[in-house]
A and B are shown apart, each in its own frame.
Chain A
Amino acid sequence: MSNFRLFIMPILAVALAIATGAIIIALSGSSPVDAYKALIDGSLSDSRSIGRTLEKATPLVMGGLAVAFAFKAGLFNIGGQGQLVFGALIAGAVGYGITGLPWIIHTPLALLAGALAGAIWGAIPGILKSTRGAHEVITTIMLNFVALNMTDWLASKVWREEGVIVRTPHIEESAEIPRWGEIPTGFLLAVVIAFVCWYLLRSTTFGFEIKSVGLNPNAARYAGISVKKIVIMTMAISGLLAALGGAIETQGVVGRYEPGFNAGLGFEGITIALLARTHPLAVIPAAILIGAMEAGGSMMQFKADVSPEITDIIQALILIFVATPIIVRWFLSQKEANELSVSTTWGSS
């Protein structure tokens, strides 16, 4: 597929989803034009709303990177949610539990602790796959439930703030990630990490090993690459990326860990990785797009009386159109659709 096609396919998928969304909004009795105007108002109209969009996009960049990175080694990490809540909770615990540190040490320490927790949590399915042959899709899904219940318990019993609300105490100021004007610093951090991932995959020997395992594990093993080691390390890194998204959310937005506040964030990483065709840099615009919908969703309800769940529907439609390129290609050219193979869904970047 040409580069042009690689670009145009996700864009067309988004356009189709928005068009279909307009029909749904119209059918529900509201004006699609007003709704989408409100959506843009709430997400991209001024520096405040753009800041909100980027804030929403930050954990999405990390979640998208986590899924995209694992996919390079042929692994499907569905455990982003579990890894993310672990990262969020541990960063919160280190953020409030340790006092008296200067911010230059405390902030990175909390981030690192959260990231490490996610790396360990992510490595578990990697180890299970390498040593016992357990499929990572199953184990990551199951570990999501374990993570949710474990973090709930830790937040409600071990690190609970005094009072009726189940949550951890607010983190020390020295652990907070500041905003840079309206721009959340966490977002810039996520962008830097996306570039690091891109470079690692493109230009390092380790990245070459990861891609080799993903493209042909038999040949990788024949070439002397330890497939087991790569699987474990890739899953650990993938978990680390998702968890870092959670840690940034805790330290940059919420200020503490609250069970349930970031429910579903981990799963949106899958949509974003798909939309970005698993390219680490394309994850950034994909996350901004979904982030904008989330930031503008409430404005849509407020101004156009359209329920914000419509953005969920549009996201789901994007996923469907990206995952089934046959529909989009049919728009591009009817003939090509005949020769299409379904296996081209995931990017080949």
Chain B
Amino acid sequence: MSSNTLALEATSISKTFGNVKANDQINLEIKKGRIHALLGENGAGKSTLVNILFGLYKADSGTVKVNGEVVDLGRPKDAIDQGIGMVHQHFQLVPVLTVAENIVLGKEPANRANVIDIEEAKKKVKELAENYQLDVDTEATVEDLPVGTQQRVEILRSLYRKADILILDEPTAVLTPQETDHLLQVLKNLASQGVAIIFITHKLREVLEVADEVTVMRNGQVVGSTTPSETDESGLAEMMVGRSVVLRVAKEESSPGETILKVNNLCVHDDRDLLAVNDLSLEVKSGEILGIAGVEGNGQRELVETITGLRNAKTGEILISDTSIIEFSPRQISELGVAHIPEDREKHGLIGAHSVADNLILNRYYKTPFSNKGIRQQKAIANYATEMVEKFDIRTPDIDTPSSSLSGGNKQKAIAAREFSHDAKLLVASQPTRGIDVGSIEFVHQQLIQQRDQGLAVLLVSAELDEILSLSDRIAVIYRGRLIVTENSAELDRNRIGRIMTTGSDST
């Protein structure tokens, strides 16, 4: 292929952090008008690479050519000047400004008195949105928009700055299935208009659906390039992980026992004091997984927080093995045998500055053998942590490393290690595999099934429909704080669930 169709060419890019080679002699060719998927597990070096391409990190060695010319990408501004745009996983938008204001921010159209010309801004944004068929309301305030729309605003902002190379870092991690479908369509449109797209993901289905080319990274190196027509999901997974992977966990028929969790007519308010969980009732038995499917923000978070004691119920009843826990503190509920994998591992699951060891005992640091008459038993803690790190294959330099420096997958493994070793009868797992790599997902799924088989009752809340479908014995679909249907998973297919979770109605 001749060089003039190459939008971007990176040659022998290397970057070392401490003694970790995050990028080792990476070569990457991005063609104009193509979608190039960058695939790899967490910690494989994908983010490092695109951060170099966007001027956020400086490569130790290597060259980057944009449109055939060697460029120096010292700062993000250099990258933007070269027509490179980036949509980060965490959006860089000003929540209180409107869509139009956010898009023109930093490059505002101004009138002669050097005052921002907001009408002109709106007009430009509208034109842009029409050109690329990206449908947004320019006057809406960003904080009121759903995540998928915010992401479109981010994309438009890059396009407004004349980006013809667009980098998207795990764009679908935060999206609902419907929003994901929409985004993938948008990417195809953009590509057909000549934009080169670098699409980071570890969701194999998406890669196969939209990518023209695939580069797979592992341990800081490029381990292969392929196209969707030459491979399939298990082929890609194997390239990523370096071994064959079970994508759909095998499980036996469940054999439910006694009822562990019983929720009766529960009503809960959210942070703004609006009704979030509305007269909800459910039951989870020992040895079964109840999956709650639903678009995020339909009361799942409030439900989970109330069951684990982090939020107060307005009315209704929650029973754990016939003990009412409505008035219980998080500690009392935990002592009853409730384990909790929280939705947000950075905010709730881990104390980033604490060591891996301390995080592994976070739910029972105060008990023997970790504490004796109020004095921490360092040796017992270290022994236990070493054992857990090995048993759950947590990749960390040592147990004293701050947990914040682990990769997402390993953070989740640490939380899973802690909660699965809790000797619990109920596990509340909220988005247990969000944003983690294929290998770790496989691990967490296998653990969930294994614990179920040993008699654990599992309440699984996930925005990933695939996860709900492959793990749950029974599925409940939540819509605006109510459970619309609860049925055995065999009775519900993907389409029906998708319809109920978006419309709240089961009728066709």
On whether the two chains bind one another, the answer is yes
Interface of A toward B, CB cutoff 8 Å: 203-209, 211-212, 215-216, 218-226, 348
Bound Cα distance from A221 to B331, whole angstroms: 9
Q: Are B374 and A221 in contact (CB under 8 A)?
A: no
Q: Are B376 and A204 in contact (CB under 8 A)?
A: yes
CB distance from A14 to the nearest CB of B (A): 27
Bound Cα distance from A212 to B331, whole angstroms: 15
CB distance from B68 to the nearest CB of A (A): 31
Q: Are A223 and B353 in contact (CB under 8 A)?
A: no
* 5 A-B pairs closest in CB distance: A224-B331, A222-B348, A205-B371, A216-B351, A223-B362
- Among B330, B358, B374, B376, point to the contact of A222 (Cβ < 8 A): B330
Bound Cα distance from A26 to B333, whole angstroms: 67
Q: Are B329 and A224 in contact (CB under 8 A)?
A: yes
Bound Cα distance from A212 to B310, whole angstroms: 17
- Among A206, A209, A223, point to the contact of B363 (Cβ < 8 A): A223
The reply on B15 being an interface residue by CB < 8 A is no
- Taking CB as reference atom, which chain A residue is nearest B367? A205
Q: Are A215 and B353 in contact (CB under 8 A)?
A: yes
Q: Which residues of B contact A211 (CB under 8 A)?
A: 354
CB distance from B375 to the nearest CB of A (A): 6
Bound Cα distance from A219 to B308, whole angstroms: 13
Q: Are B371 and A212 in contact (CB under 8 A)?
A: no
Q: Are B354 and A212 in contact (CB under 8 A)?
A: yes
Those of B339-356 within 8 Å (CB) of chain A: 340, 342, 347-354
Interface SS majority for chain A: helix
The reply on B334 being an interface residue by CB < 8 A is yes
CB distance from B246 to the nearest CB of A (A): 31
Number of interface residues of B (CB under 8 A): 26
Q: Are B347 and A206 in contact (CB under 8 A)?
A: no
Q: Which residues of B contact A348 (CB under 8 A)?
A: 353
Q: Are A212 and B329 in contact (CB under 8 A)?
A: no
Q: A205-B365, A222-B349 are in contact. List 15 more A-B contacts (CB 8 A).
A: A203-B378, A204-B375, A206-B374, A207-B376, A208-B358, A209-B366, A211-B354, A212-B354, A215-B352, A216-B347, A216-B352, A218-B348, A219-B362, A222-B308, A348-B353
- Taking CB as reference atom, which chain B residue is nearest A213? B351
9 residue pairs A–B, Cβ–Cβ below 8 Å: A205-B366, A205-B376, A215-B351, A219-B351, A220-B351, A222-B330, A223-B330, A224-B329, A226-B331
Bound Cα distance from A221 to B363, whole angstroms: 10
- Among B340, B348, B351, B375, point to the contact of A212 (Cβ < 8 A): B351
Bound Cα distance from A215 to B355, whole angstroms: 12
Q: Which residues of A contact B376 (CB under 8 A)?
A: 203-205, 207-208
CB distance from A211 to the nearest CB of B (A): 8
Bound Cα distance from A220 to B363, whole angstroms: 9
CB distance from B176 to the nearest CB of A (A): 25
- Taking CB as reference atom, which chain B residue is nearest A226? B329
Bound Cα distance from A207 to B334, whole angstroms: 21
Bound Cα distance from A226 to B330, whole angstroms: 9
Bound Cα distance from A215 to B374, whole angstroms: 20
Q: Which residues of B contact A215 (CB under 8 A)?
A: 351-354
Bound Cα distance from A208 to B353, whole angstroms: 12
CB distance from A137 to the nearest CB of B (A): 22
Q: Are A219 and B330 in contact (CB under 8 A)?
A: no
CB distance from B428 to the nearest CB of A (A): 11
- Taking CB as reference atom, which chain B residue is nearest A225? B331
CB distance from A223 to the nearest CB of B (A): 4
